[in-house]
Amino acid sequence: MKMQLAEIARALGVEANDAWQDIFVTNICFDSRQVKPGALFVPLMGTNDGHNYVQSAIDGGAVATLWQADHVNQQIADFPSLVVENCLEALQALSKYYLVKINPKVVAVTGSNGKTTTKDMTAAVLGQVFNVHKTQDNFNNEIGVPMTILSMEPNTEILVVELGMDRYEQLDFLSKLVEPDVAIITMIGEAHIEFFGSRDNIAEAKFEITHGLKEDGALVINGNEPLLTKRASEIQQETVTFGSGDNVELQAMNIVSDDKQTSFRVKKWPEVNFTIPMIGSYNVYNALAALAVGDIYHIPVDQMKNALADFSLTKNRTEWLHAPNGARILSDVYNSNPTAVKEVVTAFAEVPTTGRRMIVLGDMLELGEQAQEMHEQLADSIDETKISDVYLVGPLMAALGEKLQSKFESTKLHLYQPDELGRLTDDLKASLTSEDVVMLKASHGIHLEEVLRNLV
């Protein structure tokens, strides 16, 4: 981006200083440690007061700052400051202004599982024809979405934005902020069920993504999920469905998966063999959502095929890595929920290997009163004839450990507390051979990424 500070002031209803005509903002930053020259610094009020870091931002090259009105007596003299009532709301308002100014088409993605992968796939498909900007990392909340918008280049034609949710009305706000032309709901799982109580309530909250959907927009959903199809029948916008069975518009067929990729066909284009560089049939449904969006925007099917075969996946989402001794490691350590664990364990159990298949599972968080039961239920998905060793981390996974005692010898079942990641790492290093494959998955709060960092 590149905007005059005077234009930003006008967008926020702040009286502009004449000198601000000559000050250009080239990026927005709320973390003083990451300030780049030309930044407008946004001092957010959270655990720490962002105003305490304005001088650090100036030292890093910031050319201006927002300043919350209730902190005005702390202003730094002779430095361009835009006084606003609330810095977060000002950031959101500025992003809305910039979105309208650039005026891209907007594709918004949410779901209990697969939204980041679907976002990456969709961006790759659309990027075959259009200039596309997409959400980076996990910038999918009230702060991250505005930052995603404000990092768009002026030539952006389509914005693919991920929208996260952990409470009611969050998606309502984010959807109305971005006003999507296309909204995708990947699936309804158990993520955040602690706060919502049931999958039906989760579906209701996810469906808030349609609250800002343009009147002539389209909704893309899994057509095998009654909680979504029922609600979709009640909105006026077009609905495009994907999944399995004849009742969906984009139906997956002939799914074949190995340790590196999954191939499939789609009934709408039966002559085309699609391939994605990921294991598991569950990722095919994420690809179908991306194909649905590509079809809406008339991307030629051969170009969609090429995009899916070689798309760039956000870090820590089901990626293959290697240990120094050659052992293969399947990393999926960013988040976790029962549906996702069952799917990835089932896929991993089919990965070809001449060695052992070993799984490392950490607690799935935010499952509320049903947490222990949901952890115990994972036992049915773990095939002791295909998985040789199980490493479990956390008090909730201990409940799964008890269920697995009848399936695994004690030497094959290993239990750890979250503060024992060092011991877990040492045990894995001592056990892994060059022929083995190991999978790691847990909620981000367990921090299995620390184990991963010391294995590769």
Q: Which residues is 78 bridged to in the sheet?
A: none
**Close Cβ partners of 337 (under 8 Å, ≥ 6 residues apart):** 112, 113, 189, 190, 191, 364, 367
Flag the least confident range among 34-43, 240-249, 330-339.
Answer: 330-339
The answer on pLDDT for 369 being more than 90 is no
**How many Cα atoms sit within 13 Å of 252 on the Cβ side?**
24
- What integer best gives the mean pLDDT of the chain? 94
Average pLDDT over residues 422-449: 95
Flag the least confident range among 2-16, 206-220, 326-340, 413-427.
Answer: 326-340
- pLDDT for 334 equals 79
Using 50, 70 and 90 to split pLDDT, how confident is the model at 316? low
The CA distances from residue 340 to 25, 74, 354, in Å, are: 41, 48, 26
- pLDDT for 131 equals 98
| Per-residue model confidence as pLDDT tens digits over 246-290 | 999 999 999 998 888 999 999 999 999 999 999 888 899 999 999
Contact 391, 451 (CB under 8 A): no
| Per-residue model confidence as pLDDT tens digits over 47-64 | 899 999 999 999 999 999
| Annotated binding-site ranges | 111-117
Q: Which residues is 390 bridged to in the sheet?
A: 359, 413
Using 50, 70 and 90 to split pLDDT, how confident is the model at 3? very high
Domains and CATH numbers, the chain: 3-88 (3.40.1390.10), 104-309 (3.40.1190.10), 319-455 (3.90.190.20)
**pLDDT > 70: what percent of the chain?**
99
The answer on pLDDT for 416 being more than 80 is yes
| Per-residue model confidence as pLDDT tens digits over 17-32 | 888 989 999 999 999 9
**Close Cβ partners of 137 (under 8 Å, ≥ 6 residues apart):** 314, 315
**pLDDT > 90: what percent of the chain?**
85
Give the residue with greater pLDDT, 139 vs 192.
139
Average pLDDT over residues 161-181: 96
Pairs from 375-378 (Cβ < 8 Å, separation ≥ 24)? 375/399, 375/400, 376/400, 376/402, 376/403, 377/338, 378/338, 378/341, 378/342, 378/345
- pLDDT for 171 equals 98
**Close Cβ partners of 109 (under 8 Å, ≥ 6 residues apart):** 115, 118, 119, 122, 160, 161, 162, 163, 183, 184, 186, 289
Query: Structure tokens of 384?
Result: 């002791």
- pLDDT for 368 equals 86
Using 50, 70 and 90 to split pLDDT, how confident is the model at 317? low
**Close Cβ partners of 32 (under 8 Å, ≥ 6 residues apart):** 41, 50, 53, 54, 56, 57, 60
How far is it, in rounded angstroms, from Cα 156 to Cα 143? Answer: 20
Amino acid in position 426: D
How far is it, in rounded angstroms, from Cα 147 to Cα 150? Answer: 5
Using 50, 70 and 90 to split pLDDT, how confident is the model at 319? confident
**Close Cβ partners of 163 (under 8 Å, ≥ 6 residues apart):** 108, 109, 110, 115, 140, 145, 171, 174, 175, 178, 209
| Annotated binding-site ranges for ATP | 111-117
